[in-house]
Amino acid sequence: MSPLETLASATRKPAEWLGLADSVGTIAPGKVADLVLLDADPLASITNTRRISTVILRGRLFRRGDLDGLLKSVAAMPDLRTNDWIR
Does 7 reside within a domain? yes
Interatomic CA distance for residues 31 and 84, integer angstroms: 43
Per-residue model confidence as pLDDT tens for the chain (87 residues): 999 999 999 999 999 999 999 999 999 998 988 999 999 999 999 999 999 999 999 889 999 999 999 999 999 988 777 776 665
Q: How many domains does the chain have?
A: 1
Q: Which domain holds residue 62?
A: 3-73
pLDDT at 59: 85
Does 83 reside within a domain? no
Does 47 reside within a domain? yes
Does 13 reside within a domain? yes
DSSP state of 21: T
Planar angle of CA 7, 10, 11, nearest 5 degrees: 85
Element containing residue 57 per DSSP (H, E): strand 52-57
Does 41 reside within a domain? yes
pLDDT at 84: 65
Does 25 reside within a domain? yes
